[in-house]
C-alpha cells in the first residue's frame, strides 16, 4: 500500500507563480496569520496549487523577512564552516542566517561555493584536500588555465579565509556549546502574537514590506482584499 500523494494533482497549476497568485497567497496570510494546515491554504486562498507549493512559495520567496541579494564573503565563509560541521543539512545551516532560505543556500553552495572549493583542491563533501590522480590532475590543470571566474588572487584570499575559519572553529564550537545549535529561525508568525516584542517587530516589518510592495507593484483590479472577496471558487 503506497502512500497517498500530498494532494490531488489533477487540475492543479504548476510552474512559475504569477503576480496574481502571489497576491492571493500573501493576502491570505496577511489576513489569517498562522495556518496550521498548509493543505487547506490553496483552497481557502483561492489558489489552484498544492499546499506544499504554497508553503514553498511563501518560505522561499514571499516571506517579508527575506534577505535579498548575493551572499557576502563572510556569509560564504560561515556557510563553508557550517557545512563542514553539519553536511548537507541546509535547513540547519539556513537557521544561522536569518533572512536566508535553505533553498537559497543550497543553490549558492551548488553553483558557487562547490566550484571554489574544488579550485582550492578541497573536496566539497569532506572539506579535505583531494587526492589527485593523473587524470584529474590534467583535467584540473586545463580548467585552471582556462578558468577566469576565480582569479589566483581571489583563490589565495579564500585560502587565507579558510585558515582563519579553521582558527575560528574552536571559538565557534565554544559558542555553540553555550547556544542551542538546533535553534531554528521560524518563518511562521501570528498577528495575535504581537505582544511578543519579536513578533511585534516581525509584524512591523511585514507592514513596512506590504507598504513597500504596494508602492512598487501595480496592484491591478484583479487583486481583491480577502475580506471583500467573500466567495471563493467552490
Among 31, 34, 88, 166, which residue interacts with DNA (rule: CB under 7 A)? Answer: 88
Stretch that binds DNA, among 106-114, 126-134, 154-162, 193-201 (CB under 7 A): 106-114
How far lies 94's CA from each of 72, 73, 76, 190, 209, in Å? 14, 16, 12, 22, 22
First to last CA, the chain: 31
Q: Residue 50 burial by CB count (10 A; 0-12/13-18/19+): exposed, middle or buried?
A: buried
We find the least distance from the C-beta atom of residue 167 to DNA, in angstroms, to be 26
- Interactions with DNA, residue window 23-42 (CB under 7 A): 36-39
We find the least distance from the C-beta atom of residue 144 to DNA, in angstroms, to be 13
We find the least distance from the C-beta atom of residue 5 to DNA, in angstroms, to be 7
Q: Which is nearer to DNA, 157 or 164 (CB)?
A: 157
Q: Does 66 bind DNA (CB under 7 A)?
A: no
What residues are paired with 129 via a beta bridge? 122
The angle subtended at Cα 54 by Cα 211 and Cα 9, nearest 5°, is 150
We find the least distance from the C-beta atom of residue 74 to DNA, in angstroms, to be 18
Amino acid at each position: 500500500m503506497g502512500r497517498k500523494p500530498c494532494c490531488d494533482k489533477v487540475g492543479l497549476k504548476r510552474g512559475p507563480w504569477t503576480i496574481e497568485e502571489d497576491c492571493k497567497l500573501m493576502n491570505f496570510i496577511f489576513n489569517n496569520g498562522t495556518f496550521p494546515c498548509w493543505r487547506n491554504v490553496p483552497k481557502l486562498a483561492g489558489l489552484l496549487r498544492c499546499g506544499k507549493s504554497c508553503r514553498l512559495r511563501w518560505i522561499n520567496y514571499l516571506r517579508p523577512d527575506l534577505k535579498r541579494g548575493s551572499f557576502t564573503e563572510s556569509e560564504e565563509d560561515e556557510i563553508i564552516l557550517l557545512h563542514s560541521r553539519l553536511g548537507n543539512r541546509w535547513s540547519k545551516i539556513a537557521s544561522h542566517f536569518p533572512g536566508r532560505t535553505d533553498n537559497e543556500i543550497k543553490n549558492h553552495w551548488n553553483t558557487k561555493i562547490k566550484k571554489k572549493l574544488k579550485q582550492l583542491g578541497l573536496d566539497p563533501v569532506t572539506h579535505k584536500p583531494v587526492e589527485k590522480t593523473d587524470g584529474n590532475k590534467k583535467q584540473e590543470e586545463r580548467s585552471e588555465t582556462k578558468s577566469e571566474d576565480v582569479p589566483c588572487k581571489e583563490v589565495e584570499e579564500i585560502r587565507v579565509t579558510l585558515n582563519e575559519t579553521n582558527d575560528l572553529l574552536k571559538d565557534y564550537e565554544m559558542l555553540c556549546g553555550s547556544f542551542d545549535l538546533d535553534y531554528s529561525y521560524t518563518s511562521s508568525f501570528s498577528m495575535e502574537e504581537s505582544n511578543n516584542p519579536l513578533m511585534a517587530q516581525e509584524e512591523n516589518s511585514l507592514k513596512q514590506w506590504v507598504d513597500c510592495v504596494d508602492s512598487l507593484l501595480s496592484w491591478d483590479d484583479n487583486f481583491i482584499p480577502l475580506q471583500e472577496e467573500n466567495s471563493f471558487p467552490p
